[in-house]
A = this chain, B = another copy of it.
């Protein structure tokens, strides 16, 4: 085995945001020298990694030259220059997740086609190279309102996804490559994180459930374990395993799924990295997702994915109406409550809906955790000075 710990081994990471920052906690714990590339000199990782490089993650030369300086390369964001990764890999650099996986996942149309080709359950879809093609399809009654439109490229956190109910909605869409899906009513939105290392050891985390705000249609709580039937949970973990196997994936793969009214599991999309839906694992799991990511890409034995206690995660996003130097109002109130841990991502300025941190609530009793989560949600507010 290679000697990664307190050694001259250099781990390169593309992206220096909050996911990278939480990964750094683990590289520090194991003393793995970590070099980070990010476009923003004030990225959350900038001050606390061993070496920080500023540069454009989508620029071929920047990514290529960065890759030449490290011993193994990984990502914390998937929107990176894949051509550079292909060249680095051809020249012998180990890159996890694999560039060919990233290329498929980067494009939602390619991702959906991949599921279809590999017999992975997913909502039926159509693929259009341009918006004009989609309009043409509508005019010819091939598709009908309502439907779900998704940009093929760089959709992120709900951007790049829209429910199209009218001509006006259709006219307002961006013009580029896209897919459409039937609007399928679902009971639950679930996610399963899969870890797999090079030698093929594979493990799934328990199923988590996104609980939505009844009106705002925004995820309010990520709840682990999901409050679903054991049989559905088993099926969801099996589907997630199947996706990771199909990709021959190495690293962490977050599989987002729908549980339909008929208890079918449909894959929505995947993220080839640590994921918001796994943040609860820092406090709740035997092995948190960030440590597990390291274990998987370094071909170390995978850790126990089960939970010590139930966990719920609440995102801390900038409140509407506030832009400027951030203040976490009432944070001392939530610190009074047992099992509450805030994570502050290190962004100095807030703006509406910016992801500024998260709070984890753990408890032996999931119902008690759920009550505390609501209390947390109603108490802390991310505002500006």
A147 CB-CB contact with B under 8 Å: no
Assembled-state Cα–Cα distance A208/B340 (Å) = 24
Q: Which of A308, A340, A347 has the most CB of B within 10 A?
A: A308
A332 CB-CB contact with B under 8 Å: yes
Assembled-state Cα–Cα distance A1/B327 (Å) = 11
Q: Contacting A303 at CB < 8 Å: which of B301, B309, B335?
A: B335
A339 CB-CB contact with B under 8 Å: yes
Assembled-state Cα–Cα distance A362/B304 (Å) = 11
Is B286's CB under 8 angstroms from A5's CB? no
Number of interface residues of A (CB under 8 A): 47
Is B29's CB under 8 angstroms from A300's CB? no
Q: Is the interface of A mostly helix, strand, loop or mixed?
A: loop
Assembled-state Cα–Cα distance A303/B331 (Å) = 13
Q: Contacting A28 at CB < 8 Å: which of B25, B326, B339?
A: B25
A-B residue pairs, 3 tightest by C-beta:
A31-B344, A304-B338, A301-B336
What are 19 sample pairs from A and B whose C-beta atoms fall under 8 A apart? A5-B326, A6-B346, A24-B28, A24-B48, A25-B28, A25-B29, A29-B342, A31-B345, A31-B346, A48-B49, A286-B339, A286-B362, A291-B341, A301-B332, A301-B336, A303-B335, A304-B338, A308-B362, A308-B364
Assembled-state Cα–Cα distance A302/B348 (Å) = 25
Q: Contacting A30 at CB < 8 Å: which of B50, B326, B342?
A: B342
Q: In the complex, given contacts A5-B344, A29-B341, A48-B49, what are 7 additional A-B residue pairs having Cβ atoms less than 8 angstroms apart?
A: A3-B327, A25-B29, A29-B344, A30-B342, A31-B345, A48-B50, A300-B332
Within 8 A of B (CB), among A1-42: 1, 3, 5-7, 21, 24-25, 28-31
Q: Which residues of chain B are within 8 angstroms of A291 by Cβ–Cβ distance?
A: 341
Assembled-state Cα–Cα distance A279/B165 (Å) = 56
Assembled-state Cα–Cα distance A3/B384 (Å) = 12
- Contact code string A257-286 (vs B, CB < 8 Å = 1, else 0): 000000000000000000000000000001
Q: Which residues of chain B are within 8 angstroms of A49 by Cβ–Cβ distance?
A: 48
- Contact code string A57-86 (vs B, CB < 8 Å = 1, else 0): 000000000000000000000000000000
Assembled-state Cα–Cα distance A133/B287 (Å) = 56
The quantity of this chain's copies bound in the complex is 2
User: In whole Å, how far is A224's beta carbon from the nearest beta carbon of chain B?
Assistant: 14
Assembled-state Cα–Cα distance A179/B286 (Å) = 45
A328 CB-CB contact with B under 8 Å: yes
Assembled-state Cα–Cα distance A49/B24 (Å) = 12
Is A331's CB under 8 angstroms from B50's CB? no
Q: Which of A301, A336, A340 has the most CB of B within 10 A?
A: A301
Is B5's CB under 8 angstroms from A328's CB? yes
A295 CB-CB contact with B under 8 Å: yes
Assembled-state Cα–Cα distance A274/B370 (Å) = 32
Query: In the complex, which residue of chain B has the Cβ closest to the Cβ of A32?
Result: B344
User: In whole Å, how far is A174's beta carbon from the nearest beta carbon of chain B?
Assistant: 33
Q: Which residues of chain B are within 8 angstroms of A348 by Cβ–Cβ distance?
A: 6
Q: Which residues of chain B are within 8 angstroms of A24 by Cβ–Cβ distance?
A: 28, 48
A371 CB-CB contact with B under 8 Å: no
User: In whole Å, how far is A383's beta carbon from the nearest beta carbon of chain B?
Assistant: 11
Is B347's CB under 8 angstroms from A6's CB? yes
A100 CB-CB contact with B under 8 Å: no
